[in-house]
Structure formats: C-alpha cells, structure tokens
Amino acid sequence: MQKITLSLFLILFSVYVLPAQTSVGFHAQTDLRKTERDRLFVTMEVPKLNTSKTEFHFPKMVPGIYGELNFGMNVDSVWGIYSKNKRRLLPRKDTNSWHIPDAKKLVRVEYFVNDDFDDLASYSGRMYKSARSIFTADTVFVINNNSVFGFIPGYEKRPYEITFKKPAHLSASTSLTNTNTNDSISSYSASSYAKLVDNPILFADPDTSVIQLDDVRVTVAVYSTSGKKVAGSIAEKVAPLLKLQKQYLGGKLPVTTYNFLLYHFAASQPRPTFGEGLEHSASTVILLHMMMNEEEISRSVYGIASHEFLHTILPLALHSEEIENYNFSGPAMSRHLWLYEGMTEYFTMHIPVKGGAISYEEFYKTIEGKIAGMKEFDSTLSLTSLSKLAVQRQDQYMNVYLRGALVSLCLDIRLRELSGGKLGVQELIALLLKEYGVNKPFKDDELFDKIVAVSGHPEIREFIMKYIEGGFQPPLYENLIKTGLKLGPDGKISSDPNASASQRLLRRQWLGGN
C-alpha cells in the first residue's frame, strides 16, 4: 500500500474539528464524501490513557466468524496525535497492531483504511466476506465497524461515538443508537467496542421495507448495483418465515428492532452465484452475487434469513463466557459450536415442518441431504473438539451444520421419548434461557450438567458423552425408528407402514400435525 505524505495528512485533518480529549470513551469521525482510491481517512479521539506504553489494535477475528481475518491488513499509516498537537507515525508491531509510545500524552489516532473489495464478481481469496466493508464513493457503503474502527486493549468496554459525514442522498440503516442525523451527518453511540462491532451500517439510497412482528420491528434495507428496488418483495417473502420463527421461540425475542442489511451485486451470467450472511444481535449483513431476478433474490435471502435470524437466540442470547468476554486479538473458542450453529441449523429444518409450512416428506429430504453431506467429513472428530479447533480445522468446519444439526435432531427425539412428548430441544432452549440470557453467560464446562438438570432426565448424560463429546456418529437409525421412520442403507428415509400407534404419536409430538 502506498504511504500517505504528511502534507496530505495535514490537509485532510483540517476538515475535522475535534473536541478536547475525553476521559470517558472514544470518538471517531470519517467523511464518506472524501474517499481516495476506495479508502477512508479516520480520526479517533481516545480517552485519557493511564499507561506510558500500549498498542492500537484492529481485530484478528470477530464473533460469528471462525477463521482469522486480520482486519489490520487494510489499515495504512497510523499516526498518533499528542498533546500540544505533536504528531508521530506509530510503528507497526504486526498485521493488526501498532505501538503507542508516550501513551499518557496521546490525544487521538489517525489512519487510512481501505475497503476489502470493489465487487463480488472479482473478489476471491479471503473468506467471510460479510464481515468486511465496501466503500463505493457517492453510491454505497457497507460498514462493518470492525474493519473501520480500532481499539486499545484494556479499554474495549469504554463507550464509542462514531460520526459519518455523508452525501445528502445516502441514508443509513443500522441498529446502533442514533445520536445525531441530518442530511450531512449520521452519528451513533455504542456502550463498548463489542457493541460497536455488533452493529453494522448500510449507507445507500433508500430502498427499505418494514415487517412488524407484534413488538419487533424488522427493517429490510437493500442496495442493488442494478438500481432496482427489491426490499418490498424480499420483505413479502420472508415475513411469514419470521412470524413462524418468532412463534416457535415462544413469541418473545430478545430484541425490539432488527435490520437485514443487503448488498446485491448484479451478475451478468446466471452462474456462478454467491450468497453469505453474518448474524449480529439485532441485524444480519447479507451479500449476494447473482442476476437481477427478484424471485431468485428473495428466495436466497429467505434461505439465509431462516438461519441468521435464529441467532438472536443462539448464541446471541444463550452463550458462554468466551463469547460474552470476546477477545478480538485472539479469542478463546467455546466447546459449544454444536449448539450455536448446529442447533440453529436444526431449528431452520424443524420450524417449517412443525409450523405446517412444509410436508413431512420435504423435511425428510432435508435430513437426507445432511446425511449425504456429513459423509464428506472426519467421522471421528467429536463436535466439542471441532468447536475448540474451529479455527485450525477449517476443512472440517462445515460439518457443524451437518452433523451438528443431525445430533440436535436425535437429541430432540430422545428428549421427547423420555418426556412423553412434552420436552424437546425447543423447550430445552426455553428452559436454559430462564437460567441464562443476553447479559448472563454460562460457564463453558458447566453447560452439559445444566442441560441434564433442566431436562430432568439423567439419561441424556450418556447421549451427550457419546454423540457430542465423543466421536460416535448421530444415532439416526435408532431414533428415527422410534417415530415409525426407516433409514435405509442408501440414506433415504421412508415411513414404516407397520408403525405402531405409539411410534406415530411420537412422530406427531416431534413434527406436529395430525
């Protein structure tokens, strides 16, 4: 990356008038009207620091992503501005951090940050695009705050205020707390760096539609490079799904507002297509690369939303201390990726059939697809080991959506068998949420004991030891036969015409219907 000259820094700095140094939190500003080679100039006022030496960091990883992304790679020329307006180029320590000498005298930091890609057609290589940012001057900005704003270790829990100067025709969609918005400025506050990262922003020409789920307001905000307005058709498609999910989760969600932030890059050819989403507590970023076809776009968003919206519960409401106290420079992995991703994926399968939106046979086809996909992965690696090694074993990561979902399915049937149909994983999660919540994490090593305790069935301990902590494959044949279903050697599921009344009853208790 080219280095910016000191004279240009001084010119750019002249457009900002920052308040005096604060002892409370961080105040960052950038100007979306002034992009240079798809990069932004950011100036960040810092609180008074109580150490003589510290560092300025960008995240190595972020929640919801199980791979190293190294957001500092796009940051260039970090300057420290000290008392008496002395400025100093901060020496780079590594990809994601810079040394701050004489830190007690630091007033602010200034730097340039590049976006990650210009379009989804040409972007390749780095993974997890939905955690990254896009800057297209005067047109659209996808702001994942983790790739634009940095932090100082030890001060992550200090509040952040961020201000964007912007073109008047661009509107912002975000779940952040708005502190000041007009035609030229959008300002937001967050109680900590984690909360800032948890709330991405889409700046674009308005294309929004609202879904009202009783006490929850869901906004669909879209930018399409085609120039077409598609938010309305997407909202119409996903509204029934979200209503069904909310009902399945007991009618109450841990949010009152939610945003789907969609960037669609219109492809010129039907194949290949690309779709990805990253969940946050009150929003999901969705990136799509496909042709301009409202039906296809709505169907793709439906598929992504069916999984990501459920993350409001797992892991954003129910999670371990490793997620609650996330270390952006080197997070500790929880043992319970099987729960956060595997159980969530099972819910995406189970909710439509339980709510009557799809047939039993369609549900069976989904299970068959998971079974076939699972065969491509290491059959001996336990789900808890996969969870702890998610970063190192990227070759096995996708199995959590396959085997993790199928283990959750078997756990669901086993619980219903033991409880006379009264308790499944749907009710189990509701019971766990009475013990834990958004601001009350569980201890990673104690969750299995709590699951056994709240279920009231000690027999579940053996299931956990064998199929979650152990390397045994999901007991699909044994559990499906309890509901009058046969799993053939070809991986196909069929209904047993000789199923007993008790088997058929258990199937109805599991899948709903008559």
Chain-centre distance of CA 252, in angstroms?
Answer: 20
Q: Which of 236, 279, 265 is nearest to 139 (CA)?
A: 265
Q: Which residues contact 403 (CB under 8 A, 6 or more apart)?
A: 342, 374, 377, 383, 473, 474
Q: Which two tokens stand for residue 292?
A: 């301009």
C-alpha distances in angstroms, 51 versus 47, 106, 165? 12, 10, 32
d(C-alpha 319, C-alpha 324), whole Å: 7
H runs (alpha helix) in 268-343? 294-308, 321-324, 337
In the prediction, which pLDDT does 67 show? 87
**What CATH fold (topology level) applies to the domain 208-312?**
Neutral Protease; domain 2 (1.10.390)
Domain parsing of the chain, residue ranges: 6-116+143-201, 208-312, 321-511
Tokens of residue 412, six digits: 């669901």
Asked whether the beta carbons of 163 and 28 are under 8 A apart, the reply is yes
Mention every residue, 6+ apart, whose C-beta is less than 8 A from residue 389.
333, 381, 396
Whether the domain at 6-116+143-201 and the domain at 208-312 fall into the same CATH topology: no
Q: Retrieve residue 110's tokens.
A: 């200034």
Q: Which residue has the tokens 């030891």?
A: 465
Q: Contact 367/409 with Cβ under 8 angstroms?
A: yes
Structurally, what CATH architecture does the domain formed by 6-116+143-201 represent? Answer: Sandwich (2.60)
Task: Tell me the one-letter amino acid at 14.
Answer: S
* Chunked mean pLDDT (size 10), the chain, 514 residues: 33 38 82 91 96 96 92 96 93 97 96 86 67 94 97 97 97 96 95 97 97 95 96 97 93 92 92 89 95 94 95 94 95 96 97 96 98 95 96 93 98 98 96 94 97 97 97 96 97 96 97 85
Looking at the chain, how many residues does it have?
Answer: 514
315 preceded by a cis bond (ω within 30 of 0):
yes
> Which residues, 6 or more positions from 80, have their beta carbon under 8 angstroms from its beta carbon?
56, 87, 88, 89, 90, 100, 101, 106, 108, 109
Smallest CA-to-CA distance from 389 within 338, 346, 347 is with 338
- As a whole number of angstroms, the distance between CA 265 and CA 274 comes to 10
What confidence score (pLDDT) does residue 15 get?
Answer: 37
DSSP code per residue over 443-466: PGGGHHHHHHHHHT-TTHHHHHHH
User: Would you give the DSSP letter of residue 434?
Assistant: H
Question: From the centroid of its chain, how far is CA 462?
Answer: 32
Listed in sequence order, the residues at least 6 apart from 151 whose beta carbon sits closer than 8 Å to its beta carbon are 26, 56, 57, 58, 59, 193, 328
Six token digits for residue 476: 């699909």
Residue 22 corresponds to which tokens in the numbers above?
A: 């604060």
**CATH architecture observed for domain 321-511:** Orthogonal Bundle (1.10)
In the chain, how long is the greatest CA-to-CA distance? Answer: 86
Which tokens is 34 given? 């002034």
